[in-house]
């Protein structure tokens, strides 16, 4: 739980629960049938469509949009799920502005792409509302596979393996499956308990046993898994967080943005969460933006993101940055924290201006102070690597088929060094690893 | 400012935009609103003998839509007026008195007996109306009773009824033709032979717009059943334009005034009908879709276009396109063009490629030097224009004429400077050598 410095202004209930509920409503509200028809009509059904190339899971976008236009939303949903079983979550959380919608020819033509994300949501919502799961598993193969980590990568892998008739055990250290879909993604992107509904949808295929509260390294070992299963897939994400390495980091009042977000996602009534009056978030990625925006939506008065490089280097997309700024978050570039201060009369962070020097980022020596009641670090998560597979630059090493250095062990998602750290990338890797495992087991 | 005043077979109106005989002209209330909005004239909703017909009490319309539910085609199973004859006559008289400068033409449909026509013509004359239109076009309901298109499909009947009317009234007689025939020139010739002052066309096209797949019945569905209706709106404009041109360029009917009807929605549609030989136009679906105010755009658009072109009045451009409508066999086969893609405008959607690749002549690349690139291969392009039509960017693909004397890379032939058509072509067994 977020706590401020001694004497700092941190409290719950800055806004009423109604205000908070309104603030955390859908960022991109669902399209109704007519809106979907109008949006679908804008698609040109491109040949070898650039949007498909830009989608990490390669969804046949022109086809599913045409199915919507032809009044076949369930068929459209199936087209999406064929490539991406978490197409529902991706429709909500993908930074489409840097993926499919950026590549859409209508973006090039008129700066207004086809609304692929919202159409995807329309189709997936429609099919998920049906009572029957759209897939039937192949005949049982008798093979057993352990999937460790029930985030997007693990869920996608488990589903594809189950589809091929394999028996999957899905382990996760946390009490609930879903990974960052459940604990990380901004609340306003996936309101209404969608993450768990989607987990249930994925598991509905059968052949998947879920064991939550089971942590690799604590309750399980890779050797045991290798012994008991025909194959292992590691999808453990990045469970650790980076340190600031500035004095004062350990002070009460300095916390991890991911924890703050996890608390928020877990809260029955977010308005009951304590929030600082003045919040400083350090970092430049999606996590920094989400922590800052959600602090603001909970009623914080002044929220500042401080990032050590320029705007173009921020990992958060332009859309996300604009979102933060329109929600009243201030973004300050080219500064790094020197010291967290918690004196009687002064609480906050002292920053030093930075610039791109010949040998990389360097401080200019000039400093400034940003007052804060709460400081949130969002400077990246780290891998907590299991013993065994080779690790390079903080990520598990894999080949093109997501095989690790250990025989019979595959890995994918944020824990490997391939592609961006996005939900959709994790899904693609989990799915492709499953295909590789399937080939290996049936060869 | 161009002069939009219209004189159609002696019937004067401030502009050439009339409302066609249909719901918009069903009664005084509508017609007065139309005149207030600026319409030049109306053809009153078709009158019949008492006892008046009745309409269905369920849905009468079906439709076809384009993007954003834009109505493209409308289908109806409405009959002629369902009000007593005298009510209509009284209202026509009152409207004409109040709006002397507007055209008021009365549409008629009575059984095929001379006395029926003489009777009603007298009654219409008493109203002070400017003319009559004989409805030989309605394809549903009335045709089953031996009227409407049942008459319009038999040239002899058209001629006979037209002659009765001409002999029994001093009013101009316009004959409204049905498109539900094989060759529209025959009914037009019959109308002319009967003495018609003009023809108007087209009435609606027999149609079923869609089928309700739950009820397994055509739409609109009434208690589980449907009936074919009449199709109109933007979707029928190409059919109507062709029929107008056929009559305008037929030596037997050339010069017979035509009132152009079918899908007129904007000033441009009207100008196109008139360029092909229509003296004025009539509008129904566009008004039923958007209301009467659209005439403001029609008047303004037509007069600006005429000003831009220097046409002082509508007669100045009427029929100018008629001589350029010819038969296929006279088209110049020595006119060789190639598609050209403007790379700055191209948004790389690939539609031209896949259309040409899958269904035409494999004449557009998808890739060049490993990058996505769409370019016409002159050695394959037959200039069919398909790519131009499927490209979503206006003006991105154009057709460029190859100059005479150059070699067409597709055929290896040097392009002759002179005109050469099929009648002279060596592949034509009945070719005649060009002089
Ligand atoms: C705050 C935040 C916001 C984000 N917003 C977006 C967004 O808007 N859009 C987007 O596309 N991406 C977003 N991302 C990134 C996205 O969430 C991740 O890329 C994606 O979740 C990675 O999936 P994964 O399956 O690899 O890992 P995770 O989702 O991290 O799942 C890993 C799972 O493994 C479990 N686990 C970890 N270690 C062990 C162990 N030792 N034993 C057993 N289980 C273990 C964890 O409990 C967890 O359930 C965001 C990330 C963060 C942190
Ligand atoms: C509901 C409806 C009723 C019609 N009734 C008549 C009619 O009584 N008499 C007639 O001559 N034409 C009738 N028509 C045909 C129209 O006058 C006109 O010829 C046809 O709709 C084509 O023009 P448009 O494309 O502008 O609609 C009717 C059309 C519609 C839509
Ligand atoms: S690029 Fe845009 S227009 Fe083309 S298929 Fe994809 S969504 Fe449709
Ligand atoms: S004009 Fe026809 S043949 Fe030529 S490139 Fe276009 S589609 Fe192909
Ligand atoms: S259809 Fe038009 S825009 Fe699309 S690739 Fe071809 S030329 Fe370019």
Q: What is the pLDDT of residues B366-408, one digit of tens each?
A: 999 999 999 999 999 999 999 999 999 999 999 999 999 999 9
Neighbours of B394 (CB within 10 A): 7
* Residues of chain A contacting residue B348, judged by C-beta atoms under 8 Å apart: 50, 105, 108
Do residues A343 and A287 both lie within one domain?
yes
For residue A96, give every residue at least 6 positions away whose Cβ sits within 8 Å of its Cβ, in sequence order, or none.
Answer: A102, A113, A116, A117
Q: Give the model confidence (pLDDT) of A366-425 as tens digits.
A: 999 999 999 999 988 899 999 999 999 999 999 999 999 999 999 999 999 887 899 999
Q: What is the CATH number of the domain that holds A404?
A: 3.50.50.60
Residue A180 alpha carbon to ligand 1 centre in Å? 4
Please tell me the predicted confidence (pLDDT) of residue A345: 83
Q: What angle do CA B238, B242, B247 make, to 5 degrees?
A: 150
**B396 is a catalytic site residue:** no
Residue B433: what pLDDT?
A: 60
Query: How many angstroms separate the alpha carbon of residue B426 from the centre of ligand 5?
Result: 37
pTM equals 0.84
Ranges of residues in chain A whose predicted pLDDT is under 70: 1-4, 6, 252
Question: SS3 letters for B235-299?
Answer: HHHHHHHHHHHHHHHCCCCCCCCEEEECCCCCHHHHHHHHHCCCCEEEECHHHHHHCCCHHHHHH
Report CA(B351)–ligand 5 centroid distance (Å).
6
Which position has the higher pLDDT, B186 or A109? B186
Residues A255 and A329 both lie in one domain = yes
Q: Average pLDDT, stretch B166-176?
A: 97
Q: Which two tokens stand for residue A135?
A: 């897939």
- Do A220 and A253 fall within a single domain? no
| Chain B residues 378-417 within an 8 A CB cutoff of chain A | 392-393
Number of domains in chain A: 3
Using a CB-CB distance cutoff of 8 angstroms, which residues of chain B are in contact with residue A36? none
Instruction: Examine the domain organization and report whether A265 and A366 are in the same domain.
Output: yes
- A42 contacts in B (CB within 8 Å)? 67
A164 shares its domain with A178 = yes
Structure tokens that stand for A383 in this block: 């891998």
A298 in a domain, yes or no? yes
CB contact burial A337-365 (16+ within 10 A = b; e otherwise): bbebbbeeeebbbbbbbbeeeeeeeebee
Percent of chain A that is helix, strand, coil (3-state, to 5): 40, 20, 40
Q: Is A109 on the interface with B (CB under 8 A)?
A: yes
> Please, are residues B268 and B246 in contact by the beta-carbon 8 Å criterion?
no
Residue A41 lies in a domain: yes
* Cα gap A437→B38, rounded to integer Å: 75
Q: Over pLDDT 90: what percentage of chain B?
A: 91
CB atoms within 10 A of CB A4: 25
Residue A395 vs residue B141, higher pLDDT:
A395
Residue A388 forms part of a structural domain: yes
Cα gap B60→B236, rounded to integer Å = 19
Kindly provide the b/e burial profile for residues A270-303, where b requires at least 16 CB atoms within 10 angstroms of the residue's own CB: bbebbbbbbbbbbbbbbbbbbbbbbbbbbbbebb
> Which residues does residue B65 pair with via DSSP β-bridges, in sequence order?
B71
A326 and A245 part of one domain: yes
Same domain? A348 vs A405? no
Q: Please report, for the domain that includes residue A99, its CATH number.
A: 1.10.1060.10
Which member of B112, B116, B138, B384 is catalytic?
B138
State mean pLDDT over B303-325. Answer: 97
Q: Which among B68, B350, B393 is the nearest to A46, CB-wise?
A: B350
Give the model confidence (pLDDT) of A310-345 as tens digits.
999 998 888 889 999 999 999 999 999 998 888 888
Domain boundary among A377, A404, A425: A377
Q: Is residue A252 part of a domain?
A: yes
SS3 readout for chain B: CCECCEEECCEEECCCEEECCCHHHCCHHHHHHHHHHCCCEEEEEEECCCCCCCCCCCCCEEEEECHHHCEEEEEECCCCCCCCHHHHHHHHHHHHHHCCCCEEEEEECCCCCHHHHHHHHHHHHHHCCCEEEEECCCCCCCHHHCCCHHHHCCHHHHHHHHHHHHHHCCCCEEEECCCCCCCCHHHHHHHHHCCCCEEEECCCEEECCEEECCCCEEECCECCECCCEEEECHHHHHHHHHHHHHHHHCCCCCCCCEEEECCCCCHHHHHHHHHCCCCEEEECHHHHHHCCCHHHHHHHHHHHHHHHHCCCEHHHCCCCCHHHCCCHHHCCCCCCEEEEECCCCCCCCCHHHHHHHHHCCCCECCEECCEECCCECCCCCCCCCHHHHHCCCCCCEEEEECCCCCECCCCCCECCCCCCCHHHCCCCCCCCCCC
What was the pLDDT predicted at B40?
A: 98
- Residue carrying the six token digits 């930075």: A354
* Residue where one domain finishes, among candidates A377, A403, A423: A377
Mean pLDDT of B81-102: 97
Within this chain, do residues A437 and A423 fall inside the same structural domain, yes or no?
yes
Helix segments in A278-373, DSSP class H: 286-297, 318-326
**Residues A220 and A193 grouped into a single domain:** yes
Quick one: which of A443, A431, A424, A433 has its CA closest to A400? A433
Chosen domain end from A78, A96, A128? A128
Cβ of B337 less than 6 Å from ligand 3: no
In a shared domain, residues A276 and A355: yes
Q: Please report where in the chains the tokens 């909703």 appear, as a residue.
A: B45
Q: Are residues A45 and A21 in the same domain?
A: no
Ligand 1 atom closest to Cα of A320? Answer: 8
What pLDDT was estimated at residue A1?
A: 46
Range of the domain at A216: 144-239+383-442
Q: Does B373 touch chain A (CB under 8 A)?
A: no
Query: Is residue A17 included in any domain, yes or no?
Result: yes
In a domain, A135, yes or no: no
Contact B68 A41 (CB under 8 A): yes
Q: Which residues contact B224 (CB under 8 A, 6 or more apart)?
A: B215, B217
Which one, of B187, B230, B233, B183, lies nearest residue B205 by Cα? B230
- Nearest atom in ligand 3 to A113's CA: 2
Q: Quick one: average pLDDT of B195-218?
A: 96
Same domain? For A370 and A254 the reply is yes
CB contacts, 8 Å: A38 with chain B: 67-69
Residue B418 CA, ligand 4 centroid: distance in Å: 24
Q: How many CA atoms lie within 13 A of B422 on its CB side?
A: 7
Residue A8 confidence (pLDDT):
79
Q: What is the nearest CA distance from A116 to chain B, expressed in angstroms?
A: 16
Other C-beta atoms closer than 10 Å to the C-beta of B172 total 19
Strand locations in A73-229, DSSP E? 144-148, 167-172, 208-212
Q: Give domain status of residue A134, yes or no.
A: no
Q: Tell whether A3 is covered by a domain.
A: no
Whether A84 contacts A90, CB under 8 Å: yes
């Amino acid at each position: 739980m977020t706590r401020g410095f001694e004497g700092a202004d941190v409290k719950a209930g800055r806004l009423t629960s109604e205000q908070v509920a309104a603030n955390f409503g859908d960022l991109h509200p669902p399209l109704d049938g007519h809106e979907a028809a109008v949006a679908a009509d804008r698609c040109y059904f491109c040949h070898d469509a650039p949007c498909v190339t830009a989608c990490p899971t390669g969804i046949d976008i022109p086809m599913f949009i045409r199915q919507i236009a032809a009044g076949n939303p369930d068929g459209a949903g199936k087209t999406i799920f064929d490539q991406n079983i978490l197409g529902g979550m991706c429709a909500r959380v993908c930074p489409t502005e840097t993926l499919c919608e950026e590549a859409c020819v209508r973006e090039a033509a008129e700066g207004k792409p086809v609304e692929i994300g919202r159409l995807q949501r329309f189709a997936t919502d429609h099919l998920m509302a049906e009572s029957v799961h759209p897939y039937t598993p192949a005949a049982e193969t008798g093979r057993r596979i352990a999937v460790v980590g029930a985030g997007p990568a693990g869920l996608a892998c488990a589903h594809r393996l189950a589809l091929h008739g394999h028996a999957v055990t899905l382990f996760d250290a946390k009490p609930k499956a879903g990974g960052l879909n459940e604990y990380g993604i901004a609340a306003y992107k996936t309101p209404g308990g969608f993450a768990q509904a989607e987990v249930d949808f994925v598991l509905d295929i059968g052949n998947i046993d879920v064991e939550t509260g089971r942590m690799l390294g604590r309750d399980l070992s890779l050797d045991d898994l290798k012994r008991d299963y025909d194959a292992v897939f590691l999808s453990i994400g990045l469970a650790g967080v980076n340190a600031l390495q500035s004095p004062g980091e350990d002070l009460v009042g300095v916390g991890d943005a991911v924890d703050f977000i996890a608390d928020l996602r877990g809260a029955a009534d977010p308005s009951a969460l304590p929030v600082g009056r003045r919040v400083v978030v350090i970092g430049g990625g999606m996590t920094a933006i989400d922590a800052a925006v959600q602090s603001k939506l909970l009623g914080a008065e002044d929220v500042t993101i401080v990032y050590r490089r320029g705007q173009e280097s921020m990992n958060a997309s332009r859309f996300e940055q604009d979102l933060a700024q329109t929600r009243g978050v201030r973004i300050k570039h080219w500064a790094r924290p020197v010291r967290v201060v918690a004196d009687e009369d002064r609480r906050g962070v002292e920053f030093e201006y930075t610039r791109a020097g010949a040998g990389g980022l360097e401080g200019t020596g000039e400093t400034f102070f940003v007052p804060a009641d709460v400081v949130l670090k969002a400077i990246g998560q780290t891998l907590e690597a299991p013993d065994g597979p080779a690790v390079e630059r903080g990520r598990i090493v894999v080949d093109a088929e997501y095989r690790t250095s250990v025989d019979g062990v595959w890995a994918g998602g944020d824990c490997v060094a391939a592609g961006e750290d996005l939900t959709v990338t994790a899904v693609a890797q989990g799915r492709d690893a499953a295909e590789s495992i399937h080939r290996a087991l049936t060869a | 400012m161009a002069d939009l005043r219209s004189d159609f077979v002696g019937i004067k109106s401030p502009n050439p935009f009339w409302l066609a005989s249909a719901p918009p002209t069903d009664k005084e209330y509508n017609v007065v609103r139309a005149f207030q909005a600026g319409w030049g004239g109306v053809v009153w909703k078709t009158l019949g003998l008492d006892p008046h017909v009745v309409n269905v009490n369920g849905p009468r319309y079906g439709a076809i839509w384009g993007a954003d539910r834009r109505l493209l085609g409308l289908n109806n199973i409405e009959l002629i007026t369902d009000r007593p004859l005298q009510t209509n006559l009284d209202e026509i008289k009152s409207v004409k008195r109040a709006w002397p400068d507007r055209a008021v033409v009365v549409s008629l449909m009575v059984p095929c007996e001379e006395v029926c026509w003489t009777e009603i013509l007298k009654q219409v004359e008493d109203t002070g109306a400017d003319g009559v239109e004989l409805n030989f076009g309605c394809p549903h309901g009335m045709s089953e009773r031996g009227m409407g298109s049942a008459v319009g499909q038999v040239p002899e009947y058209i001629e006979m009824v037209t002659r009765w009317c001409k002999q029994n009234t001093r009013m101009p007689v316009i004959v409204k033709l049905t498109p539900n025939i094989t060759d529209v020139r025959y009914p037009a010739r019959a109308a002319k032979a009967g003495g018609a002052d003009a023809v108007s066309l087209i009435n609606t096209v027999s149609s079923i717009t869609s089928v309700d797949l739950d009820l397994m019945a055509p739409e609109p569905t009434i208690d589980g059943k449907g009936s074919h209706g009449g199709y109109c709106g933007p979707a029928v404009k190409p059919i109507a334009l062709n029929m107008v041109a056929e009559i305008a360029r037929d030596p037997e009917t050339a010069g017979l005034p035509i009132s152009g009807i079918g899908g007129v929605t904007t000033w441009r549609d009207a100008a196109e009908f008139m360029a092909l030989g229509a003296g004025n136009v009539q509008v129904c679906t566009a008004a039923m879709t958007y209301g009467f105010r659209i005439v403001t755009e029609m008047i303004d658009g037509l007069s600006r276009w005429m000003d831009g072109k220097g046409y002082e009045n509508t007669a100045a451009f009427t029929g100018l396109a008629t001589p350029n409508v010819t038969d296929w066999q006279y088209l110049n086969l020595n006119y060789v063009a190639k598609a050209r893609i403007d790379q700055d405008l191209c948004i790389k959607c690939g539609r031209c490629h896949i259309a040409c690749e899958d269904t035409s002549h494999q004449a557009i690349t998808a890739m060049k030097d490993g990058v996505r690139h769409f370019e016409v291969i002159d050695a394959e392009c037959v200039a069919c224009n398909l790519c131009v039509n499927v490209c979503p960017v206006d003006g991105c693909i154009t057709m460029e004429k190859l100059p005479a004397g150059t070699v067409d890379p597709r055929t290896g032939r040097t392009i002759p400077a002179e005109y050469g058509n099929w009648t002279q072509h060596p592949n034509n067994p009945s070719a005649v050598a060009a002089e």
